[in-house]
Homo-oligomer: A and B are copies of this chain.
Amino acid sequence: MLLGGIEAGGTKFVCAVGDDSGRIINKISLPTVDPEETIKAVREFFNTYSIEALGVGSFGPIDLDVDSETYGTILNTPKTKWKHYDLLGNLKRAFQVPVYLDTDVNAAALGEYKYGVASDVKSCLYITVGTGIGAGFVQDGKTYIGKNHPEMGHIFVQQREDDTFAGSCPYHGACLEGLASGTAIEKRYGQKGVSLSDKEEVWELEAYYLAQAIVNYTMILSPEMIILGGGVMKQENLYPLIREKVLELVNGYVEIGSRSEFIVAPGLADEQGVKGALALTFGE
């Protein structure tokens, strides 16, 4: 049985044909242009295969409230051509197979849970720290969606006293994403994170914010494992800095497992999203 998976991102759509063991048979990456053109290219790729179901991990915000009239539609996005685009409806019409839609970060969490670093735990939170910050959560094989999907990057944390940056989030200023995303780093220092890799103080501050976020997620969701991915996390010294700071902040109040097992790097390089999208088709 062949299955389709799409990691639908703001800059590219990664499409894969695979099977229910998580094996990928063929994969391509298509640029995200306007919806019609993008979906046409997606269709051409999958048309050589007879897939029986399609899983999609999409950028957002997207309406995932099954009771909503606009279920499956892209909501307020700066990508104006995609605003109000009925992604689920159009994919269903294009492929005439069951389509399973979720957020990109939930798909990534599911990919790591099924085939990656979280394959032997019962729950994991996948946090991506890149241009923006987002997180997806899986428990007992099911991705978490509430009334609508979480937007975990937009929580508030304590700004460090000596950090006078106003924050880069157009909605919330100094929320987590506004303080600690790649965009925030670039705006605060006037250069990209990659060119700051030897500046200790940059990563100390970054760890200060990400550690608080991890504590907040842990106090609310109590995941068994936390996976930190995304472009900013290529700065590998962040992992030990964050682990240390989380331990310090939690201060023994709750048990969070051993330091190295609780907060980890992804196990699937850049394939957790598309493999998770494939896994969305398995149902419960």
Chain A residues with CB under 8 Å of chain B are 61, 76, 122-123, 139, 145-159, 171-172, 174, 212, 215-217, 219-224, 249, 251-255
Contact = CB atoms under 8 A, between A and B. Distances in A.
Given A215-B156, A251-B171, A251-B172, A149 B221 contact: no
B156 A253 contact: no
12 contacts: A146-B222, A147-B222, A147-B223, A148-B254, A151-B219, A152-B219, A154-B254, A156-B212, A156-B215, A157-B158, A172-B253, A217-B220
A218 to B, nearest CB: 8
A173 to B, nearest CB: 9
A74 B253 CA distance: 14
B221 A146 contact: yes
B253 A223 contact: no
B150 A221 contact: yes
Nearest to A212: B156
A225 to B, nearest CB: 9
Contacts of A212: 156
Contacts of A216: 155-156, 216, 220
Contacts of A220: 150, 152, 155, 216-217, 220-221
Nearest to A139: B146
A15 to B, nearest CB: 28
A126 to B, nearest CB: 14
